[in-house]
Amino acid sequence: MSKEPEKAGEKLEKQRLRNHTASAQTQNRAERGAKGPTEQGRKQKKQKNVKAEVESNTQDSLEEKVKESPQKAGKKRKSIDVEEDESRPRRKRKTAAEKEQEAMPLLPRTPGLAMKIGAHVSIAKGVQNAVINSVHVGGNAFALFLKSHRKWENPQINLADAKLFREYCQREELDARKHVLPHGSYLMNLANADADKQKQAYDCFIDDLKRCEILGIGLYNWHPGSTLGQEKQTALENIARAINRAHKETTFVKTVLENMAGHGNIIGSSFEDLAGIISLVTDKSRVGVCLDTCHAFAAGYDLRTEEAYQKTMQQFDDIVGLKYLSALHINDSKTPFGAKRDLHQNIGLGFLGLEPFRIVVNDDRLADRPLILETPQSDQRVWADEVKLLEWCIGKSGREEDFLSKARELSDRGLEERAKATAFQEKKAAKGSKKRRSSSTSDDSQPL
């Protein structure tokens, strides 16, 4: 017997149930409207009337008291305000001991290390606080924004704060010329062909570079930008022209290009892009590259094993030149290899795993360069722990049982998220493949 009539019957029955339910709900609403307000509605109305009467009486009483004695009326109003304030939850003030405890470093800095590891810290309440926040997480290097990175207009740098920044760096023995790596605004696109937008981007760029020199910072990192559909070579020329102009307007700060993940028209996902810009820069002593591990992995440069890492670094040396490698952003990846998505993950939890970062911190070519964490964090303890984790990896071969155990532990913690990312990527790939097949079939069917 065919099951088709049964399915049709089931659908019809479900439709009847839906219609019946909708009809009953409409009828109930109509009946409620005909009967007038509900008991609950009457109670609410009564409460409103009582409240209004109380407020009216209070106001009348106050007006009478004002006529008799303004001071007494004021006291009564103040008493009412106090009663209202007491009903609100009050924020508990921190004691001096609690404030002192918060100011204490979460973990101490490790002196004398060749590998300068740190994190991208906040400048809230003054740029000088970036130094304090870096020390708080045990960093021997740090990154920061020089101003709000999500708006064009910003106040001028506070010179008193700048003086404190320089003093704090000196006090903490942090070399701002070599181990501090500010990050540029995400709004800037020096490749833009539109004259007005290019000027806006350049003004932001040169303002940042001048802030660096006021603070005594020697490196400045930013994203190259997007072609916005124009020819790649033209876009690279626009960027190089802006760099050359900025170098003439400043004295010593080095402009450090960042490699990108490869999405859309973004510039910098290939080493060739970076080399193309550098080749057009006049003063090559003032241009460099910051290699982001997550971006490189997403763009198709493998780092997961010693062999893969060395191959990628050789490619970088052949195409760009290791002499231009000025800094690293240390990030795991939430997405699989070659996904072209810029999604940072905590160290060891992502698709890179702990091994590439062990290799990085044992690569002598990277000594005395800022190695900056940009990993997700809910509080500063995350970065403090990751700084110590990376420092712990220094000197390890990767075969020690404690290292292998730590790598497995971190990998297990990120397993569920990696599984979801893999499923998403496979679904996306299948959808793209289907679309390409459909397009190919459509093209084949067209007459010649």
Active site residue 179: no
Q: Determine the Cα angle at 429 with ends 421 and 330, to 5°.
A: 40
Active site residue 295: yes
- Among the listed residues 109, 120, 136, 183, the single catalytic one is 183
Q: Is 447 exposed, middle or buried (0-12, 13-18, 19+ CB in 10 A)?
A: exposed
239, 256 Cβ separation under 8 angstroms: no
Active site residue 374: yes
DSSP at 253: P
Closest CA to 138 of 383, 448, 427, 423: 383
- Among the listed residues 344, 358, 369, 418, the single catalytic one is 344
Active site residue 150: yes
- Among the listed residues 109, 179, 211, 258, the single catalytic one is 258
- Among the listed residues 32, 186, 408, 412, the single catalytic one is 186
User: Within a 10 A sphere around the Cβ of 6, how many other Cβ atoms?
Assistant: 10
Residues paired with 145 in a beta bridge: 183
- Among the listed residues 150, 196, 379, 416, the single catalytic one is 150
- Among the listed residues 211, 286, 295, 418, the single catalytic one is 295
Active site residue 183: yes
- Among the listed residues 223, 247, 369, 418, the single catalytic one is 223
- Among the listed residues 109, 247, 329, 341, the single catalytic one is 329
For 5, residues 6+ apart whose C-beta sits below 8 A from its C-beta are none
**Bridge-based pairing state of the strands 332-333 and 325-330:** unpaired
Q: How many residues does the chain have?
A: 448
Closest CA to 190 of 131, 252, 258, 142: 258
How far apart, in whole angstroms, are the C-alpha atoms of residue 136 and residue 162?
A: 20
Active site residue 258: yes
- Among the listed residues 306, 317, 374, 385, the single catalytic one is 374
Closest CA to 363 of 385, 390, 345: 390
Active site residue 292: yes
- Among the listed residues 342, 355, 386, 391, the single catalytic one is 342
How far apart, in whole angstroms, are the C-alpha atoms of residue 166 and residue 125?
A: 16
- Among the listed residues 168, 202, 208, 292, the single catalytic one is 292
Q: Annotated catalytic sites, by residue?
A: 150, 183, 186, 223, 258, 292, 295, 329, 342, 344, 374
